[in-house]
Chain A
Amino acid sequence: MLRLAVVFCSALLLASCQRETAVERANREKILLVGNGDDPKALDPHLVTGVIESNVIRALLEGLVADDPAKDDAFPPGAAETWEHGADFTEWTFHLRRDATWSDGVPLTAHDFEFAYRRNLDPVLAAPYAEMLYFIKNAEAYNQGKITDFSQVGVAVIDDYTLKLTLREPVPYLPGITRHYTWFPVPRHVVLKFGKISDRFTKWSDPGNMVGNGPFVLKEWQFNRHVEVSKNPRYWNAANVKLNGIRFIPIENFYSETRAYLAGQLHTTYQVPPDLVDKAKAENPSDLKQEPYIGSQFIRLNTTRPGLNDLRVRMALSLAIDRKALCETIFKGYQPATTLTPAMGDYKPDAVVGFDPERARALLAEAGFPEGKGFPRYTLLIRSSGARTTSEALQAMWKKHLGILVDIQGKDFASYVTAQQSLNYDLAVAGWIGDYLDPSTFLLMWTQGNGNNNTGWSSAAYENLLTEAAHQSDPLQRFEKFRQAERLLMEEQPLIPFAWQARNYLHRPEVKGWHPLLLDNHPWGSVSIEP
């Protein structure tokens, strides 16, 4: 009896064994399996702000300008075939391609873009990332309800295939901006079928309803399981799209994700946990990718706290951090930061901060705390799910080089963010990921009243430089102003940058058309599987 049961159970187990791994099957079916960190919050580009959402939305919708698979500073045509700008970069005209249609066959016109911008800026809709459109003349006023006539906003439909944008200031990098999903078109006819322009919760972006103009269409979304997209046969460049579909799998535990990859269940992962990088390097050297990313890690300081309002103290804390050691032992692949903005294109900010324990001690003594004596006991705020080792390393460095003690406090995400936004913290480990390749994506937030500043620091001189930069139509002059502004910011140290991010992830060799990109926006239409 017992033996029979054992035999039966074993047979059952054996019978349920898998015959091929998920990747082997997906290679056959030409479906890309992507680890995507979490479920998207929504697929309506006007309701979201994150990278996870961007990854899916970029498969479903396409902006005026497309992403290049290999180059950060190349701007291949997307929904627009050509574009031109006025001499001062404030007037841009985009000529849409005439063969572009939505996935339901309805032609894609300039009206869809105008509709999308009007909807994104609609004050009643309250799109969380409408700010991205504030480059357009009067967009901010319309979004805040100060003007109600959309014709005053700098978006004009010249004809079905010509869109003219008037900007509030010279924006020489506009083509790069339009690659962000907040600038993508939405299908007017579908959005209006399910509700008014300003309705927030309509079903237009649900599977079965959503219509797009990207290389893929939404097939299925099962929460916590996957979002699946399949090839859009009506995409203008469908002949060159080699994948039949993509499955975005939300795996928030990166150890599980790495294991799943090694077990042949994913083509590409979202992130390799830093402590697994060395192991991956030894065991799967050709699969491990370590690529620069447009992100910066820093310590945010509450400059309204006594002690931290002293520049010498802030600088001392900064100079006592051995960034090289941090990057080598903890972050694996990150670069030691010498300023906030990582280098991008022609923008080369000055290196202001570094590791100089002697100067740090001298500054601290000058501020009235020789050898750390009498220094207030601050708390370093971190997100409980991460940054534990980083914060312990920082704690040890400050103890060793400055003789001061700092406590560590981990909070869950919402509490962590709220503490910073209400200036209810001393020091916080934080980070910022750029939305587009321009220093403004890192520098504009440190102004007075900006919701992302949260340091209590502001400077009129800094803001003047930013304004001057905004009115420069010569790109190099503009960068020069930003460089000066960034130098000022760094000499004030309301935030202490310590690392420029990199992306550590695993990627299977049979996936082609995938190159290192600073923004990490791989155009899905160019990716292929060639086992």
Chain B
Amino acid sequence: MFKSLLSRFLQSVLVLFVLFTLTFFLCKALPGGPFVSERARPKHVQEKMEVYYGFDKKTHEQYWLRIKHYLQGDMGLSTRLEGRPVIEVISQAFPVSFQLGLIAMAVAIAVGIPAGCLAAAKRNSLIDTGSMMVAMIGICLPAFVIGPILAEFFGRKLKWFPAMGWSSSLPSTWVLPAITLGLAYAAYLSRLTRAGMLETLSLDFVRTARAKGVSPWNIVVRHCLRGGLIPAVAYLGPAFAGIISGAVVIEAVFQIPGLGRQFIKAIESRDEGIIFGCVLLFGTLVILANLLTDLLGLWLNPRLRKSS
């Protein structure tokens, strides 16, 4: 166990290193730079600013300097938000994205898994086709359609919830973005759960249980849920990493001060510090989420435990 964890860790470091290298050189290949502005700056000012941020050095020197600074725990300064440490920008945005991700994930699980179980238990019934149809619609409708519709209806028309904004302590601001973000995942999750449950429900032990007179409810919840959830869980981990890093559209629609918006703005303004910071953070999240998923998978599926 320890050995495999250690090798996972070393692999992760390598992945992050490659990720950074790729991002770095892709950034350098982009036209324009961080000091491009519609109002041109005098040349001597432009040159001085480049010196300030070390952009006057050769590309490979900048590359090694970045790595050196990262190893020393220095994430550098943002160029878009002049002089603000990258760590300050990210540490303001990350908790927001994380909280939104958690709430959205809770919505996804609370809606998706019961719906999938129900559909599987009542296979080919109206509930099954109905809920799977809704799920299909949920998967197909992108967030930039659902988000504005919810904001327009519940935010503007009924004024039940704010149409924009986010406050970590004000639940009314969570509702619309979390539902928008969570529903797409709920839809996918319900289909995965249904498939997993159907597979488990068709196994021999279920027939035996039925023959012994176990109630249908008990069969689903106590005997099959654990096995049936395996595909859903395998999806959840990477999905959670994606939900945190990829809520760009929702953040823009609902004006949420999360990482996605910072990331997009950083790319547009070639703010390398923030770009690298976000990429490394997202990379780490994906790695952690995958690790967690594998561990959860081990717990859910005893067969895997034996083989490892």
Give A residues with C-beta under 8 Å from B: 2, 9, 13, 15-18, 21-22, 38-39, 41-42, 44, 47-49, 123-131, 143-145, 200-202, 222-225, 249, 251-253, 255-257, 259-260, 262-265, 411-415, 417-419, 421, 450-452, 454
Contact = CB atoms under 8 A, between A and B. Distances in A.
Contacts of B80: 41
Contacts of B83: 42, 47, 200-202
B146 to A, nearest CB: 14
Contact of B42 (A17, A131, A412, A414): A131
A454 B40 CA distance: 10
Majority secondary structure of chain A interface residues (helix, strand, loop or mixed): loop
B82 A265 contact: no
B94 to A, nearest CB: 11
A487 B110 CA distance: 69
26 contacts: A9-B110, A15-B171, A17-B161, A18-B160, A21-B162, A22-B162, A41-B80, A47-B82, A123-B44, A126-B52, A131-B42, A143-B42, A200-B52, A200-B82, A224-B93, A224-B257, A225-B165, A225-B257, A256-B148, A260-B162, A260-B165, A263-B164, A265-B162, A413-B32, A414-B32, A451-B43
Contact of B82 (A13, A38, A41, A259): A41
B193 interface: no
B253 A126 contact: no
B188 interface: no
Contact of A223 (B92, B151, B254): B92
Contacts of A225: 165-166, 257
B216 to A, nearest CB: 14
Nearest to B175: A16
B31 A451 contact: no
Nearest to B260: A224
Contacts of A259: 148, 151-152, 155-156, 163-164
Nearest to A124: B48
B299 to A, nearest CB: 25
Interface stretch (B14-22, B63-71, B262-270): B262-270
Contacts of B253: 253, 256
B44 A126 contact: yes
Interface in B147-185: 148, 151-152, 155-156, 159-166, 171-172, 174-175
Nearest to B77: A201
Which of A13, A200, A224 has its CB near the most chain B CB atoms (within 10 A)?
A224
Contacts of B175: 13, 16
Nearest to A127: B45
Contacts of A418: 31-33, 36
Contacts of B82: 41-42, 44, 47-48, 200-201
Given A16-B175, A262-B156, A128 B45 contact: yes
B38 interface: yes
B33 A414 contact: yes
A11 to B, nearest CB: 12
B118 to A, nearest CB: 9
B72 interface: no
Nearest to B179: A13
B164 A413 contact: no
Contacts of B44: 123, 126, 143-145
Contacts of B136: none
A260 B163 contact: yes
B37 interface: yes
Contacts of A144: 42, 44
Interface in B246-272: 252-258, 261-262, 265, 267-270
A123 B44 CA distance: 8
B137 interface: no
A421 B164 contact: no
Contacts of B92: 222-223
A530 B265 CA distance: 37
B58 interface: no
B159 A18 contact: yes
Interface in B226-261: 252-258, 261
A417 B92 CA distance: 30
B40 A451 contact: yes
Contacts of B49: 126, 128
A223 B92 CA distance: 7
Contacts of A223: 81, 84, 89, 92-93, 257, 262
